[in-house]
Amino acid sequence: MNKKNFTITLLILGIVITLFAGCGKNTDRVTINVYNWGDYIDEDTIRDFEKIYNIRVNYDQFATNEEMYVKIKSGSSKYDVLFPSDYMIERMIEEDLLHKIDLNNIPNYKYIESHFKNLDFDPNNEYSVPYFWGTMGILYNKTMVDEEVDSWKILWDEKYQDEIFMLDSQRDSIGITLKMLGYSLNTIDEDELEKAKEALIEQRPLVLAYVIDEVTDKMVAGEGALAVVWSGDAVAAMRQNPDLDYVIPKEGSNLWFDSMVIPKNSEHKEEAELFINYMCETDVAYRNADYVGYSTPHIEARKKLDPKIRDSEVAYPDMESLDNCEIFHHLGKDLKLYDRIWTDITAR
């Protein structure tokens, strides 16, 4: 290519880029950008918000915390409200990516159950307002398992060879093994992790498959007897197949939260707080909980739910029984320890 051609190429490139960059942004209404998990809201509530407050909502969805994090960290997209999980919020606070939320602007915060305030990842509750929560446990088929299920150890029982589904997710699978062995699921102690690794290698021949989203379908179809699942999926699976039951093992488990936060680069903090407050209105929280099926931390919204869900031990376990459950912490560089172990287990 000679010089002249090169200049033309650059010119065209420049034009294309400015064309794309000019997209969006030319209404007099304020627009806020909301970034949530896929299929994690009743979208009608957003349309109602737009009508009531005359604010346009640009709604985007992500599939993993990491995907969302990359976009925020690189600053390539501006969002005003995000819905990350516990350990990710901890990380974002650590890296100074979040605005403090003024709770005076969120009067509906009073409806949040007190157990769900001041959680480990946000000890003074300055940055986040809980949206949904849940646990992790064992989903089992009562027609295939006739003993009492109360311990993670049952996943190591040779009786159930080729009947067990584990999660293909490092933190979760190693986490429950650590719990079974009596350690913290946030440990970075190499001896403890080594023991967990040995246990998982020993378990491998018994495992039918390491799965993620497919697990509920498989359990509903009776493909396996036991599976590690999140409580929200358990509720959905049990609705479809009454032979299934869910238990949080006595050794303790993982307790998780997805909360609403405002990133530092938000240009509409006030409107973002308005949106978070709106999400905590009883009726809106109820509609979302009813649509999504996960457990809501909103006291009044829970009361309005179908009694079958409202009083279900699966969706709303007794808070005292969760004493030995832990929330995942952000591990930073130490996450590589987990990756190494997981590769050692699944690559052999």
Partner 1 sequence: MNRKSIIAYPYVIWMVLFIVVPILLVFYYGFTVDTGAGAKFSLENFRRFFEPVYLMVLLRSFALAALSTFICLLLGYPLAMILASKDFERKNIMLLLLIVPMWMNFLLRTYAWLTLLEKKGIINSLLSALNLPTINIIYTTKAVVLGMVYNFLPFMVLPIYTVLSKIDKSVIEAAQDLGANSLTTFKKVIFPLSLPGVISGITMVFMPAVTTFVISRLLGGGHYKLIGNLIEQQFLSVYDWNFGSAISIIMMIVILISMGILSKYEEVREGGGLL
Contact set with partner 1 (CB under 8 A): 1, 4-5, 8-9, 12-13, 16, 64, 66-67, 168-170, 204, 207-211, 214, 218, 221-223, 333, 335-336, 338-339, 342-344, 346-348
What is the rounded distance in angstroms from the CA atom of residue 304 to the CA atom of residue 184?
36
What is the rounded distance in angstroms from the CA atom of residue 151 to the CA atom of residue 140?
12
Q: 66 or 283, CB closer to partner 1?
A: 66
Q: 64 or 321, CB closer to partner 1?
A: 64
Place of tokens 């516990």: 86
Minimum CB distance to partner 1, residue 222 (Å): 6
What is the rounded distance in angstroms from the CA atom of residue 260 to the CA atom of residue 128?
5
Q: Which of 46, 110, 58 is nearest to 268 (CA)?
A: 58
Task: Report residue 89 as tokens.
Answer: 């919020």
Question: Is there a contact between 163 and 226 (Cβ–Cβ < 8 Å)?
Answer: yes
Q: 95 or 313, CB closer to partner 1?
A: 95
Minimum CB distance to partner 1, residue 5 (Å): 7
DSSP 210: E
Q: 13 or 319, CB closer to partner 1?
A: 13
Q: 5 or 27, CB closer to partner 1?
A: 5
Minimum CB distance to partner 1, residue 166 (Å): 8
Strands 164-167 and 207-211, how do they pair? Answer: parallel
Question: Is there a contact between 305 and 289 (Cβ–Cβ < 8 Å)?
Answer: yes
Range 279-286 contact pairs with CB under 8 angstroms and sequence separation of 24 or more: 279/45, 279/129, 279/131, 280/106, 280/108, 280/109, 280/111, 280/112, 280/129, 281/108, 282/108, 282/111, 284/45, 284/48, 285/111
What is the rounded distance in angstroms from the CA atom of residue 102 to the CA atom of residue 215?
40
Minimum CB distance to partner 1, residue 156 (Å): 17
Minimum CB distance to partner 1, residue 235 (Å): 23
Q: 1 or 23, CB closer to partner 1?
A: 1
Minimum CB distance to partner 1, residue 223 (Å): 6
Minimum CB distance to partner 1, residue 49 (Å): 32
Q: 52 or 221, CB closer to partner 1?
A: 221
